[in-house]
Chains A and B, each alone.
Chain A
Amino acid sequence: SQTIHQWPATLVQPVGSPLSLECTVEGTSNPNLYWYRQAAGRGLQLLFYSVGIGQISSEVPQNLSASRPQDRQFILSSKKLLLSDSGFYLCAWSVEGLAGVGGEQFFGPGTRLTVL
């Protein structure tokens, strides 16, 4: 069966510090991968998605970047954190080639980031 891991679970970082959040998926190959941010009262915002190694699409301009160095690894980074980067970050995966398949995404447990 497939599983998705995120770490760390919680993180407190000062403004201006770097960030690296990691997401890995097990039990599937060539997944589509997604990073979302959930800020209080604002629902889920898609930040990045990837359909393959080294292929990253950004949904919104921001202080963050993403990378996919391996098929089942997705990393969210920042060089200098802002207060507004605080939130709950969720990684998700879906089966590749979704047309006609159903399209559901499967979410990880999330990382709570607080920037002080």
Chain B
Amino acid sequence: AQSVTQLGSHVSVSEGALVLLRCNYSSSVPPYLFWYVQYPNQGLQLLLKYTTGATLVKGINGFEAEFKKSETSFHLTKPSAHMSDAAEYFCAVSKGSQGNLIFGKGTKLSVKP
């Protein structure tokens, strides 16, 4: 069975600091992994995804994530936070051939000036 754990429901960083949002997954099959971002009262937008191949995945807005099979992790990083990065971030793992996604509970990122 698939599951996702996001460590830290709230993360606060200063503008210009490193952003690190943690995601660990459990999957009985090779996983597809996703990061989504949600701004207040909006739908979710795909930041990046890992399916196969290169384990370092680059996404939009300067974010990237690295798939580490040995650690069952898919942490999201950005070298320098911007005020516009303040949002909620969700990690997800695919479930089955129909593509149902299992989401983590989300991490709310705050960026301080």
Q: A residues touching B (Cβ–Cβ < 8 Å)? A: 32, 34, 41-44, 46, 49, 51, 88, 90, 92, 94-95, 98-99, 101-110, 112
Closest CB in chain A relative to B26 CB, distance in Å: 16
Q: Are A32 and B43 in contact (CB under 8 A)?
A: no
B56 within 8 A of A: no
Q: B residues touching A (Cβ–Cβ < 8 Å)? A: 9, 32, 34, 36, 41-46, 49, 51, 90, 94, 97-101, 103-106
Kindly state the separation between the CA atoms of A51 and B32 in the bound complex, as whole angstroms.
19
Kindly state the separation between the CA atoms of A110 and B51 in the bound complex, as whole angstroms.
27
Q: Are B103 and A103 in contact (CB under 8 A)?
A: no
Q: Are B43 and A90 in contact (CB under 8 A)?
A: yes
Q: Are B97 and A102 in contact (CB under 8 A)?
A: no
Q: Are A44 and B90 in contact (CB under 8 A)?
A: yes
Kindly state the separation between the CA atoms of A95 and B49 in the bound complex, as whole angstroms.
15
- Chain B residues contacting A44 (CB-CB under 8 Å) are 44, 90, 103, 106
Kindly state the separation between the CA atoms of A90 and B97 in the bound complex, as whole angstroms.
21
- Chain B residues contacting A98 (CB-CB under 8 Å) are 94, 97-99
Closest to B49 in A: A104
With beta carbons under 8 angstroms apart, the residue of B41, B98, B106 that contacts A43 is B106
Closest to A95 in B: B99
Could you jot down 8 A-B contacts, CB within 8 Å? A41-B9, A43-B103, A44-B103, A94-B99, A98-B97, A104-B49, A107-B44, A110-B41
Closest CB in chain B relative to A92 CB, distance in Å: 8
Q: Are B105 and A43 in contact (CB under 8 A)?
A: yes
Closest CB in chain A relative to B63 CB, distance in Å: 15
With beta carbons under 8 angstroms apart, the residue of A43, A49, A94, A103 that contacts B104 is A43
- Chain A residues contacting B9 (CB-CB under 8 Å) are 41
**Among the interface residues A34, A88, A105, A112, which one has the most CB atoms of the partner chain B within 10 A?**
A105
- Chain B residues contacting A95 (CB-CB under 8 Å) are 99
Closest CB in chain B relative to A115 CB, distance in Å: 18
Kindly state the separation between the CA atoms of A63 and B42 in the bound complex, as whole angstroms.
24
